[in-house]
């Protein structure tokens, strides 16, 4: 049985949602992702999404340490 926490961890977030969560502009989210300060987004066709679990990990350890939690 899947718990609500497990379902939330599997959710994918848009750049707008990531920006709101981290209190950054959308442009800054893209810059941080390009520079490795945030995990790379998942490519879905022409869309890019971030795993909620990756963003939660960034929030726990701080944006400057995002490379340590980024998935290849």
Domains and CATH numbers, the chain: 4-68 (1.10.1660)
Give the per-residue pLDDT at 67: 46
pLDDT tens for residues 53-71?
A: 999 988 888 755 454 444 4
- Residue 51 phi, psi dihedral angles, 5° rounding: -70, 130
Residue 8: the pLDDT is: 60
For residue range 34-51, what is the model confidence (pLDDT) as tens digits? 999 999 999 999 999 999
* Confidence class for position 7, pLDDT limits 50, 70, 90: low
Query: pTM of the prediction?
Result: 0.74
Beta bridge mates, 50: 13
Is residue 36 within 8 A of residue 2, CB to CB? The reply is no
């Amino acid at each position: 049985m899947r718990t609500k926490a497990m379902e939330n961890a599997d959710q994918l977030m848009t750049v707008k949602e990531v920006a709101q969560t981290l209190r950054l502009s959308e442009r800054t989210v893209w810059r941080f992702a390009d520079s490795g300060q945030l995990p790379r987004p998942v490519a879905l066709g022409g869309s890019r999404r971030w795993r909620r679990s990756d963003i939660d990990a960034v929030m726990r350890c701080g944006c400057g340490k995002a490379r340590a939690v980024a998935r290849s």
